[in-house]
């Protein structure tokens, strides 16, 4: 039996916890809502706490109010085994959000993601400077261009 981690991220939203959790579980093939609870008292009374799971990692989405905002200082990295997988996550997560350089994007809820090839560390080890130069020229990562840079 797999052991669940003692650590799980809690994402603070302002009235969008259920929408965000539903969106994320629709994007990831192994995603599911675990529980939706209504906050019964306090400043966020009537809002939701949503437990959900993506690829075996448990999350909490909390409708805590406008006091805090999600920033790119914390991001979630998606390690992709193919260009097709990179393209899929990039398209799904970037819709309604904003793309950034080197495979980073902010989704429509403000959460930052890094959509990267699983072989990135290996390619960087083979040819650090050319691979980094190629990487810095991209928004969505193209594995073929990184592989070509590693061979140059």
Same domain, 83 and 141: yes
Answer yes or no: is 130 within a domain: yes
pLDDT > 90? residue 32? yes
Same domain, 86 and 144: yes
Please say whether the dihedral angle defined by the alpha carbons of residues 19, 21, 25 and 27, taken in this order, is positive or negative: positive
What pLDDT, in 10s, does the model give residues 71-123?
999 999 999 999 999 999 999 999 999 999 999 999 999 999 999 999 999 99
pLDDT > 90? residue 53? yes
Same domain, 51 and 108: no
Provide the whole-model pTM.
0.92
Answer yes or no: is 2 within a domain: no
Same domain, 81 and 145: yes
Total domains in the chain come to 2
Answer yes or no: is 68 within a domain: no
Query: Whole domain around residue 22: which residue ranges?
Result: 10-63
How many residues in total does the chain contain?
152
How confident is the model at residue 5, as a pLDDT? Answer: 78
**What percent of the chain is modeled with pLDDT above 90?**
87
Cβ–Cβ contacts within 10 Å for residue 92, how many?
A: 15
């Amino acid at each position: 039996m797999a052991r669940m981690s003692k650590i799980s991220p809690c994402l603070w939203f302002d009235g969008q916890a259920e929408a965000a959790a539903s969106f994320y579980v629709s994007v990831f093939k192994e995603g599911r809502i675990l529980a939706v609870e209504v906050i019964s008292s306090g400043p966020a009374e009537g809002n939701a706490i949503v437990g959900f799971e993506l690829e075996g990692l448990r999350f909490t989405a909390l409708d805590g109010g406008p006091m805090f905002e999600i920033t790119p200082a914390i991001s979630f990295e998606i390690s992709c085994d193919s260009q097709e997988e990179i393209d899929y996550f990039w398209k799904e997560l970037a819709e309604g959000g904003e793309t950034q350089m080197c495979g980073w994007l902010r989704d429509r809820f403000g959460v930052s993601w890094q959509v990267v090839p699983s072989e990135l560390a290996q390619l960087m080890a083979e040819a650090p400077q050319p691979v980094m130069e190629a990487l810095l020229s991209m928004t969505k990562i193209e594995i073929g261009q990184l592989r070509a840079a590693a061979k140059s």
